[in-house]
Structures are given as structure tokens and as C-alpha cells.
Structure 1
Amino acid sequence: MEDKEHLRLFGFIMEGILLVCIGGLGLIGNCLCIITFSRMAVQKNFHRLMLTLAIYDILYIVTSILLFGIPSLYPAVYNQSTFKHLVPILLPLIHVGLTGSIYLTVAIALERYTTVCHPFFKISHAWSACTYIVPIVLFSILYNTPKFLELEIQDKIVNLTQEVDVSGNSTELVILKNITIQKEIEKVGPTDLRINPTYIKVYIIYLNLIIHGIIPLVLLIILNVLIYRQLRVFQSCIDSSNGTGIQQREIRLSQVSLLIVAIFILCHSLRWIPNIWELKQSGEEKGELKWPNWIEYITHLSHLFTVLNSSGTNCQTLK
């Protein structure tokens, strides 16, 4: 019982206080990014990608506050009918925001890679920002479409004990009797799809680990190692020849990209721990998995860190 109280207090601090405060600041910062980038007379692909990233980050922050922050501050929200009906919609939307944020970060790294490492290729092909944005928007929606079919509002009948006065018209004697009444309440429950073992193993565990973990992580590491090596060469050349303002700006944008990726990897690394644990346990246990307390602690932290990532990375371009 004491462990549950500690876990509840930890969730209140991490998701209730810190997540809401950081998410609120992140919403302001991302809105400023959108205003700044949309007013630029000549927008670079980099800035258009950052603008779209800000939109996805806002989506992720808002849904995180509604799903994790507010219920941690006010647990009574769980019993509200409006909140119950919002959960089956908010949960898929938070995954849409997460997927879009992840792959826009990859797109920014790819855009910087072509600019820094293959400038002549970029000039000759002249890819627009839509070349990156449109496929990511479509993919983030289509990939997470099954999420809209995972939860539903279910009616549950519960037994309630109530004291009833059965003394009739007597004014001298009061007789109370406990009676059991049945009441129908609403709850958020899984659909048949969500509890299907094949769906859980293939889509929720394996695909989630590959799509949200392995692929973006490997791409980001490879691209940014190559960018970093090329930047060191450029920086040494510019230091010796006093490079132009355009060269300096491209280097600065690439440095911002490296910082975004570093923060991304740091903040998202915790989120992969429960996924890896669930993958390992799925091969060893049958039936419903019971999450240990240490996984619950990491889950609370991962929610906070992913909101921190969505709140802080975009603001680097405003400096």
C-alpha cells in the first residue's frame, strides 16, 4: 500500500505538476515558432519543417496534458463522462502527434545532411519542404488509424449497498435495512481488436518498437554523425578564410539540428525501456502482463521527457 502511495505521489509530481508546467511553456514557445516562421518572407525548407514540427508538438503537448497531466492533478476527472468519451479520441491523437514529431525530426536531419554533405545534389534536385511533409502527415495518420479502434465506451453494472428506512409510518422507531441495488456506469474498455494477441504482439509491440524506435534512432545517429564530421571540416575552412554569412547561417542551422537530435534521443530513450520490457515479457508469459512498479516510474518519467522534448527543441531556432 505504501508503494502505491509513493507511485501516486511520484505521478502527481512528474505528470501533474512538471508536465503541465513544462507543457504550458512549450505551447507558448511552439506558438511563437509558428508565428515567426510563417511571417518569414523567404522561408527555407528547414524553417518550413520546423513550423510543421511545432504543429505536431502542440498536438502532442495538448493531448499529453489532457490525458496525463490533468488527471494526475485531479483524479476525479477519471469519473467524468466527458473525459471517458474523450479518451478513445485523445489516445490515437497523441500517437499521431508522436509519430509526426519523430519523423519530422528525422526529416530535419535528412534536410541538413543533403545541405551540408551533398550541396550540389540539393541544388540540382531542389526538393521542396512538401516532399518531406506530405508523406509524414499521411503516414502519421494512416499508421495510427488502428488506434482509433482500440478503445470504446462500455456499460458496466455494479452492485451498490444502500441503507433504506423500512419503519413505515412509525415516528418512534426507525429501522434501517441494507439493500443491494444495481447501477449501470460507463467505463473506457478495450475493444476485441485491442485484446487480440496477434494484434498486441505484431502492431503494439514489434511495429511500435521498429517504427518509433529502431528506424528513427538508427537514421538519426548515422545522419548526424555524418553531419558532425562535415561541419568540423567546414568550420576549419571558415575559420581560416572568414566564410560568408550564408555559410555561417547554414552551419548554425546544422548545429541546431544536431542539438534537436541530441535532445530527442535523450528524451525518447526512457520511452523505449517499457517497450523493450514488454517485448521481452511477451515471449515469456501468457495472459495479461502485470507492470512492476519500476516500469510505472519510468513510464511517468517518459511522459514528462517526451513533453519536454516537444516543448524545448523548436525554440532553439528562435535564438
Structure 2
Amino acid sequence: MSSRKMMPEFEFIVGGVALVCVGIIGCLLNILCITTFSRMSAQKNFHRLMLSLALFDTLYITTSIILFGVPALYPYVYNNSFYLRLIPIILPLIHIGLTGSIYFTVAIALERYTTVCHPFFKLTHAWSAATYILPICIFSLLYNIPKFLELEIGTFPMNKTRYDFTNKTITTTTIAPEITESLDDDSMEVSSLQDANFTVYDNRTIAVMLERVVPSSLRKHPLYVQVYIIYLNLLVHGVIPLVLLVGLNIFTYKRLRLYHNSLDLSVGQGTLQLREVRLSQVSLVIVIVFVFCHGIRWIPNIWELQHSENQKLKWPVWIAYITHVSHLLTVFNSSVNFLIYLIKHPTVLIRTFRPHNHSTYQETNMNGGDVTTILASKKISCTTQIVPCDQTEFMSTQL
């Protein structure tokens, strides 16, 4: 059996069943992540960034299920006029979720890098989570505004009809919808047509129009395709985050190995040093999964870049297979971040959701050169202030 004939089954299994199942589990995990971190008594910047990442991941997963998963399971959803009009809105939302997910992953890696490699700098500057969150949210929205102008609804004459002169009717033939797209290419053409009967009077036929989602004039402009679709997407969604993630995590990993050999484990597993190390290990695993899942996504884009001079570019079958795998892996990546966190912090759900009257928590605030640690419970409360010495001694004792 040829690869082209196997495509419908492959799309149904990978792009439909697997993507929807992974996406539903991912949405549940992200909702649990949002609930857990929002209920924490002592939130670090890391927790707030993870919460923001979960929000954008949920947006990406939900829109991916609607745009990619549902049509793979039920192709004739394209015959629904309402669904057809959602596509020009859903596709930009996917890119907003994708951009936010990418750069919140970078922000988590940067936050861990400053904590592990430059702890004295972090204490003296005391950046809040808003320093990371606001710029990323604004950039994710502004950068993807052109996406809302790329697709539009067009109408075209119907070219397939069946004449029944006995009943003097014309019955439209339902056309199987065809969609040619990829998440990064965005070139899309979708047909929509409902079964309908039209009466013939005096040899006159009522015209049947076909609705389609087509690229706008902006999307078809060669300069826009070359600059924004290919080169900017390659830099913003590929090269820049990849270089930052690899570089930051190499330095963080080297410093973690040094700290691991020098940590004083006699004070127990609840020390500030060990908690920071565990959070950094979570960040490293998140980045490794991210690089693997998003690396495949760039194969179609690199192929398109190599053939960008061809105005009548025709995508080969193997690119379609990779595109479906890419959609599944990016949804998987957006689904497992909180699961990675739970592997390193298995008791966080118990501590977060147990009744407050039995809870004991520790809150560490960094402000200028002081570290204030607050222990609170129903029976006791104490405050300890630690003023660090010079940077060399601080780095050897704190992490």
C-alpha cells in the first residue's frame, strides 16, 4: 500500500485519536497545575512562571484539538459553516499559545540560571515574576496580530450537481473537504457545503455557491511570506529560543553538578538549597522535552525555506506525515510540564489541598540583600532574617 493511500488512516490515528487523547489529559494536568500553584501560600517566581506556562499551554492544546484533532476524527466538520468561520480566529490563537509557551519555557530557564549561577545578583535585584510575564504576554499577542489577517472566507460556484428532471430538482453533491495546511505554513483552503435541494423552474437553475477558507492577499504576498512566514518565524520560534535554552541550561547543569557535590545533606531534604536544586532539575527536564518535541516541527519549515523560490510549491507526502507527528508532539510537550514537576515534588498536591488549619508552610522572600524566611502554622510562627556575606561565601553556602 502506497504512503499516500495510508495517509487517511495515519491522520485518523495520530492526528485524531492520539492528539485528542493526549490533549484532554494535558488540559486536565494544566488545570491542576493552575489550581495548585494559585493556592500555594508561598509562591516563588518559578511557580508563577509555571502557572503562566500552563495557561498558554492550555490555550494551545484546546485550539489544536479544535483545529487539528476534531477534523481528523470527523472530516465532514468542514461542511459546517459555523466551524468554517472559526478557522481564521482559531489559527492565530494557536500561534499566540505557541509563542507564549515557547518564551515562558525560556523564562523558566532564565530564572533558574540566575538563581543557580548568579544567586547574589538575584538577591540584590529581586526581580518579580511580572518582569517576565508581562513582556511575554504582550509580545505573544503583538507578534501574532498579522495572523488574524491571513485567512478569509470566499465563495465559489459549485461545480458538481446531479440533475433529476423527474422531480425537477437539483441535488448538490457533498464534497469531501480538503485542507492543505501546516501549523507553521498557514496556507489553508477549506471547502464547506451542506446537502441541499434546489428547484428548477422553466429550465433556469439556481446557482449553488461553495464557501471556502482561502489565504488573503496579505498571506499570498511574496514579501510577507518570505520575511514574516519563513525568516521571522524561523528566528522567533526556532533559532533564538533554541540558542537561549541550550546555552542557559548548559551553564545551569554545570553549576548544579558542582552544587550537588558540595551540598550539606545533614540538614534534611527541606533545605532551601535542595529545593532550589530540585526546581532547577525540573527546568532542565522541561527544556530537554521541549527541544525534542519542537525540533521535529521545524523540518517542514526548513524544507519550505529551501524551496521558497518555487511559487507553485507542492508539499510531498512525507511532509504531511511529519506535520501530523509534529502536531502530536507539540501538544504532548504542552501537556507534560506539570507532570515533570510532580515527579520531583510528589507531595505537592497533598500539601496544597489539605485543610489550612493543619497546614505548615515556609515562605522565603528575597528583597535587596536580605533573605526573610517565614514559618507559619496554626500554633507557631517565626521570622528569621539572614544577611549574606560576600558573594564567594554566599554562593558556597546557599546553593
TM-score (norm 2): 0.74
How much identity, in percent, do the aligned residues show?
60
Superposed displacement of residue 190, structure 1? 0.8
Alignment of 1:230-249 (within 5 A): 230-238=255-263, 245-249=271-275
Given candidates 216, 225, 243, the residue that maps to 2:250 is 225
1:279 alignment partner in structure 2: 305
**Structure 1 Cα separation of the partners of residues 161 and 65 of structure 2:** 36
Give how far 1:143 is off: 0.2
CA contact (8 A) 1:150 1:190 kept: yes
Post-superposition offset of 1:187 = 1.0
Q: Is 2:186 aligned against 1:161?
A: no
The Cα shift of 1:240 comes to: 7.1
Aligned to 1:175: none
Deviations 1:255-302 (A, max 9, x none): 00000000000000000111111111114x2x1311101111110000
Q: 1:162-241 to 2 correspondence within 5 Å?
A: 162-165=162-165, 182-238=207-263
Task: Give the whole-Å Cα distance in 2 for the aligned partners of 1:246 and 1:100.
Answer: 29
Give 1:55 shift: 0.2
Match of 1:44 in 2: 44
Q: Which has the larger radius of gyration?
A: 2
Alignment check: 8 A CA contact 1:160 1:180 kept: no
Large movers: runs of 4+ above 6 Å: none
Please state if 1:126 is matched with 2:150.
no
* Alpha-carbon offset, residue 166 of structure 1: 5.6
Q: SS in structure 2 opposite 1:215?
A: helix
1:159 positional shift: 2.9
Displacement after TM superposition at 1:107 (Å): 0.2
Query: By how many angstroms is 1:146 displaced?
Result: 0.1
Matched, 1:255 2:281: yes
Name the CA distance, whole Å, in 2 between partners of 1:265 and 1:213: 10
Is 1:307 matched up with 2:337?
no
| Equivalent position of 2:358 in the other structure | none
1:172 is aligned to none
The answer as to 2:116 corresponding to 1:116 is yes
Residues 26 and 312 in structure 1, CA contact (< 8 A), matched pair in contact too: yes
The answer to which of 4-13 and 258-267 deviates more is 4-13
Q: Is 234-243 or 191-200 further displaced after alignment?
A: 234-243
Residue by residue, what CA displacement relative to the aligned partner does 1:172-211 show, whole Å, maximum 9, x if unpaired?
xxxxxx9976311211111100000000010000000000
Candidates 253, 260, 264, aligned match of 2:290: 264
Query: Alpha carbon RMSD of aligned pairs, Å?
Result: 1.9
Segments of structure 2 that go 5 or more residues without pairing to the other structure are 169-202, 347-399
**Hey, which of these two has a bigger chunk of helix by percent?**
1
CA distance in 1, matches of 2:267, 2:296: 42
More moved, 234-243 vs 19-28: 234-243
Q: What CA deviation, in whole Å up to 9, does each residue of 1:110-153 have, x standing for no partner?
A: 00000000000001000000000000000000000000000011
Q: Counterparts of 1:258 and 1:146 in 2: how far apart (Å)?
A: 33
Q: Quote the Cα distance in structure 1 between the aligned partners of 2:148 and 2:16.
A: 26
Aligned mates of 2:331, 2:256 — CA distance in 1: 29
Provide the residue aligned with 1:17 in structure 2.
17
1:165 deviates by 2.6
Residue 106 of structure 1 is matched in structure 2 by: 106
Q: How does 1:64-75 map to 2 (within 5 A)?
A: 64-75=64-75
User: Distance in 2 between the 1:167 and 1:152 partners?
Assistant: 37
Letter in structure 2 aligned against 1:249: R
The CA distance in 2 between the partners of 1:38 and 1:121, in whole Å, is 27
How many Å separate the matches in 2 of 1:123 and 1:26? 35
2:194 corresponds to: none
Shift of the alpha carbon at 1:3? Answer: 3.4
Cross-structure match for 2:318: 294
